[in-house]
Structure 1
């Protein structure tokens, strides 16, 4: 039985500082939740957090990472208690990640 090769193609996603903050916030919460549950955080969360913390405006994400960030961010943006400023920045990131998804189709 063969497994599919790891995804190595990356996509550039440019994020403003505020957009980076929203993505970092969402992923940090995901990391904290895993640690609180005494689980190993997903590798993609750690990789994307590391990329954001490099203080560069352009993030290089694999398709898998882009999909996971999209899902986590969409859930955050859809929450009623999410601050309006985060919704606006999060929606802008979702638009860019949607472009990545379309490029892969």
Structure 2
């Protein structure tokens, strides 16, 4: 699948799906072989692992995320300063996204 969204639009679509608790829309913003680090003890690799990890989290009505600032490097790298809120407790997170053909190929989260 080739998607011509910009990197920033892809990250925004991922955020919207996260906040809506929409696992299908969330997973659709990631490449089938995407790698996500920094959210679990080991890397999350591929669609099946992504769905297994995020499914229960997106079902949590007390979980949300706000992107406070983004920086675009080139046409595919996005760095975002986020506040992830769970049960009213915010955690500052720095997230990096490598977006290729409108889908996130790699994402890394560094929690404060």
Between 1 and 2, higher relative CO (CA 8 Å, sep ≥ 6) is seen in 1
More strand per residue: 2
TM-score, with structure 1 as normaliser: 0.28
Q: Which has the higher helix share?
A: 1
